Structure 1
């Protein structure tokens, strides 16, 4: 599965980014080594979640160090600079404007895959992308979503290494971890150093 025009789109809160996110990027490049690039797209506000308390500038710094070791992996800050909820359809349409001719591969977790048919204009999203890449978060196998049956030729299930980590849980743990100077296992040294330096998440 190689295409020099393929652009991966990996969105999320990344508040904070963790090693599970890095494993997804690693799996993308293992499956698509000749892809043009992988875009990391931190959101400002998810339609499904509460507003962020972490400054966008800090999240961008954390994301940069988390993914800096991956080739052709870039941060696209379009969503996080908008003070409105981030809808995937809008992001895809905007990206197609600035990446004319690109074949987009949208990366989502197994939890979002099971609910994808509830997303705003989900069919239009799948019409616009070349692949829907589903990565594992907690389960060894990903159950089929029957609502997406007609798009099965676009869906690829990644075999990324599972690291059971969630940003929402890390945000809850970090104040105590910072107090005790104890790095959570799911954070890279580089991300942890920035968090300590900024005294963020306290």
Structure 2
């Protein structure tokens, strides 16, 4: 059976099987790649987009690499079944191109059921990606130098998920300066520059 799996008629499915195993091993060793926030490129509010994502099995917030692993497995199973069926009926498997085309269609249909089932049994998937404007009203700590108007300095801001972000900060008021180690409240943003009010002596100083 293994030798048959490496023949040209079965080779596409040997490749899909190998890629599936590779992705599975990466996830198994705990690299966390299955939890990456990968954008599908289609907004859920677009006309018909929600239905397409649901049909593909991506509507249930299933991590993309787990969905891909499931799809590869379904294509592999469908391809082997198709070639075995063709051999039983005609005495020979289909040409690999025809077999791959049929397996892709059948695998996609099968994966719709598999992915939706996985999405129901997996723990809830929560993203930690934020929009840059969510850093506003947060407190940043100047890392080095002194922030002055027209002379931004690097500052570290902790978001609501506890993740650190490094942004460029200038004082909101012309006469202010924020030295390294001091904190400031981010009040507005223009492009990549945040403008902040120093915490010292202000009503915004945290209790």
TM-score by length of 1: 0.26
RCO higher in 1 or 2 (8 Å CA, sep ≥ 6)? 1
